[in-house]
Chains A and B, each alone.
Chain A
């Protein structure tokens, strides 16, 4: 058995003239919750579609459970749960009919798990699925996905469009469910507080490439936030590769850097015109925001 539950090598996917993924190399170890983070159009959903074998790669390959995604058998699909942002369910059926159908399809169905998870949501079994609110549908979807006892569970922006209460219920259900230790969850979201709360590992995707992959704490340590007073324009600092962002806020220069030892950079700033330098603790939200903003800035410049 391979050590990695999900792997991709040189994965490239083009749609006509648009390139969604380029040389996408990734290896995700078994177990834990892995958060996929990236701007809209970064290629996250395309990667999931390739992973589930719904699209063919233009170049390269990807595998899940050690099986090439293009060769997944129905048995393998039974081990991969998938919850999408729309929470697609047959809206014309009643909730218990949907549950009955799913239960009959999945041999490892765990009714206990289902009951525990669904208890977090106010879902009536005799209700029509079409009458459920978005949050209730999300809950039903998550309950069914977890009850399938998947080895891999892909959650593609599952809390998108949910209100605070529904989001809270969803995350509680996800966090507090006793899952198989081998179950690997791929969690894709734009909500940094959610990611911070649930993720064991961050995978930051940028313009179709894996940019960073690290544990949230490790990633935060790699990012530094500086507030400085400059007497002259910090043009030299602005062009440094390690600088993710540089902003002038009320006369003070706010700088975010990555992979730059703090003591070296402080000395560099002082040597290049900074009158004072203060290091500020950086949150995951700000760190990721700076990384993704850099990419956006790149787009703006190219435009």
Chain B
């Protein structure tokens, strides 16, 4: 096995050397534009694309070269078990990927760490581990795709999107996701590396794993399909709900002009100032509190995910960078590379030893306007001139910020999971003390975050409109309009439930109808990745948090029944044993339609052959006919 490993390693060692040099050269070029340890969208893209593209390309090239007829025979026809051959090859190729993808980054980080005062944390090195995991998964998925007898296996490469880890997650969750996907991809690659792959589709474990990794692609196909069978035909005929302005649906409401939609809600109110507000709205300005979410900043987030937290002082010459290891800001002179000091929650210090544990930040922070540091519960203002930090606002226990600071209508607005806080902007920026908000407007219900919260300034106060597609429960949209008087009084003008559906239930809840199990994996194991990308606190993230309407439940059952019926037909065509059939029927209860479609993809080739055979009568007859033609005509 050692010699097999060495044989494979020697095959690519020169290429590896060349690519390592090229990779280092790219880092040198990038460091001319952006400091090495500072994240930039281009660098982020490069870091995430490199292991994926590299792993996939290398997996395809390596296995493609081995899979050539005589080369395959030379590789597998020897007195060594096929499992050991695969292990030897995989180990050699993983070493190659480590050298090409990870080693140059480690060298760069290590060099910067040792030779300069730039902040290099453990998270930077951990990012390299994550990228390595990504490269391994990509390599194994590509090997599997190439070796599998079902060409649909290439679609499993979409699954890599879930391993990317583009959102902020605790390290232990990232580690679990990485390890799970490495295990799954290795299993598939290892199983598909067979002397003869003809009988691979008879292996239940292999097919089950293949069905699982095809789910993201099938989901995308199914969702895109609704465009073909629903949206496009209705749009062509001019009957699409988007064109029906009389339809009082949530989607039509949010697409209206702001003044009109506000006026619609005001007109439903019975507030005494209704007429005045209605008139003012036509001349008012409207501002979103923020689309961005404060995605639970935490220490030791991966370098590829967490933005660098940097404050700049004195004509851009001193940079204060948050060190995730030390939990303080470290000030560094850009030109001299000297450390000028440290900054904790209690102020500025010359040496790190002067800071006690209580002086350090409990949570990671984000920076706004180069002076406000916002953690989960506190907002500090940095005053470089006076060398001090002021605690500007602190939330009570159980409450946390969900949006970053935003300035509008001469107010500074912050949103938490329970309320919206309005401060006088002048005070927020110039008062050197902890502030009490001018208004604390509690949320309409127990939702911690809303799709849209819009403010509009009136003569005597503000109108705040809350809007969410799940306002009254899962897939039950609603809106509420609040009137915040300058004197502190807060009136709820109207609460409104959108009862008219924009699209049928089956379309609105189609992702959920497909497979509750798969959707839960996507939303739960890899939260926010696809559907709640901007809403890390969304209460409907998990399946058990959703109250499903009766019609949606019926659609779910219909989906499962369709999958079961389809599986029965498939079992008949492919002459499955009763045990195999029962196995797949059981799984259809969990996987529903996407599972069945993935099965169809996997068995497309055998099914196609059967169809052709049946078209030419029985297989035996076909064989006889073809030979008679050759021999006796």
Which residues of A pack against B, CB within 8 Å?
A: 12, 14, 16-17, 19, 22, 49, 52-56, 58, 70, 74-75, 77-78, 80, 82, 84-86, 88-90, 92-93, 97, 100-101, 104-107, 207-209, 298-299, 301-302
Contacts and interface: CB of A to CB of B under 8 A. Distances in A.
A46 B199 CA distance: 17
A273 B474 CA distance: 98
Given A82-B77, A101-B7, A22 B72 contact: no
Given A56-B196, A86-B70, A208-B627, A106 B79 contact: yes
Contact of B633 (A14, A55, A89, A302): A302
B78 A78 contact: yes
B198 interface: yes
A205 to B, nearest CB: 13
Nearest to A22: B627
Contact of B70 (A80, A84, A90, A105): A84
Given A56-B196, A298-B631, A302-B630, A80 B11 contact: no
A176 B196 CA distance: 35
Contact of A90 (B7, B196, B623, B631): B7
- Most B CB contacts (10 A, CB to CB) among A49, A54, A101 go to A54
B574 to A, nearest CB: 16
B4 A101 contact: yes
A229 to B, nearest CB: 32
A77 B198 CA distance: 19
Contacts of A55: 196, 198
B11 A88 contact: no
A100 B71 contact: no
A18 to B, nearest CB: 8
B173 interface: no
B79 A52 contact: no
B195 interface: yes
Given A53-B196, A82-B73, 13 more contacts: A19-B623, A19-B627, A54-B73, A56-B196, A74-B81, A77-B77, A84-B70, A88-B74, A105-B78, A105-B79, A207-B630, A301-B633, A302-B629
Contacts of B204: none
B314 interface: no
A298 B633 contact: yes
Nearest to A69: B196
Interface string B201-217: 00000000000000000
A142 to B, nearest CB: 14
Given A16-B609, A19-B623, A207 B631 contact: yes
Nearest to B80: A74
Contacts of A100: 3
12 contacts: A17-B612, A53-B195, A54-B73, A54-B196, A56-B199, A92-B11, A93-B10, A97-B7, A100-B3, A101-B4, A105-B79, A208-B627
A299 B80 contact: no
B626 interface: yes
Nearest to B79: A78
Given A54-B72, A298-B631, A90 B79 contact: no
A58 B11 CA distance: 36
Interface in B549-576: none
B194 to A, nearest CB: 10
Nearest to B14: A92
A104 B71 CA distance: 20
Chain B interface SS verdict (over half):
helix
Interface in B1-43: 3-4, 7, 10-11
Interface of B: 3-4, 7, 10-11, 70-74, 76-81, 195-196, 198-199, 609, 612, 619, 623, 626-627, 629-633
A22 B76 CA distance: 26
A207 B196 contact: no
Contacts of A209: 627
A176 B199 CA distance: 42
Given A75-B79, A101-B4, A56 B198 contact: yes
Contacts of B81: 74
Contacts of B71: 88
B17 to A, nearest CB: 14
B70 A298 contact: no
B470 to A, nearest CB: 51
B3 A88 contact: no
B626 A104 contact: no
B198 A298 contact: no
Contacts of A88: 70-71, 73-74
A285 B508 CA distance: 76
Contacts of B72: 54
Contacts of A105: 3, 78-80
A85 B593 CA distance: 48
Contacts of A93: 7, 10
- Most A CB contacts (10 A, CB to CB) among B10, B619, B631 go to B631
Nearest to A78: B79
Nearest to B75: A88
A70 B74 CA distance: 17
B619 to A, nearest CB: 8
Nearest to B13: A92
B341 to A, nearest CB: 56
Given A16-B609, A302-B629, A70 B11 contact: no
A85 B70 CA distance: 9
A207 B630 CA distance: 8
A22 B11 CA distance: 40
A101 B3 contact: yes
A75 B4 CA distance: 17
A89 B11 CA distance: 12
B4 to A, nearest CB: 7
A80 B74 CA distance: 12
Contacts of A22: 623, 627
Nearest to A303: B633
B630 A298 contact: yes
B11 to A, nearest CB: 5
Given A22-B623, A22-B627, A52-B73, A77 B78 contact: yes
A294 B3 CA distance: 50
Nearest to B85: A74
Nearest to A101: B3
4 interchain residue pairs of minimum CB distance: A78-B79, A56-B198, A302-B633, A88-B74
